[in-house]
Amino acid sequence: MTHIASVFAGKEHAALIAFITVGYPTLEATLEAVPLLEKCGVDMVELGIPFSDPLADGITIQQASQKALQNGITPAACLEAARLIRQKTDLPLLFMTYYNPVLCYGPDLFCADSFRAGIDGLIVPDLPLEEAGLLEEITCRNNLDLIYLIAPTSPEDRIRQAAQRSRGFIYLVSVTGVTGMRKDLPEGSAGFAARVKRFSDKPLCMGFGISTPQQAALVAGSVDGVIVGSSIVHLMGSQRDWKPAVSEFVCSLKKAIMESGK
Catalytic site residues?
46, 57
Cis-peptide into 25, omega within 30 deg:
yes
d(CA 193, CA 251): 25
Other C-beta atoms lying within 10 Å of the C-beta of residue 228: 26
Could you tell me where the beta strands, DSSP code E, fall in 80-169?
93-96, 121-123, 145-147, 149-150
Task: Report the candidate in 235, 189, 236 with the shortest Cα–Cα distance to residue 208.
Answer: 189
Task: Report the candidate in 253, 98, 229 with the shortest Cα–Cα distance to residue 174.
Answer: 229
d(CA 66, CA 16): 26
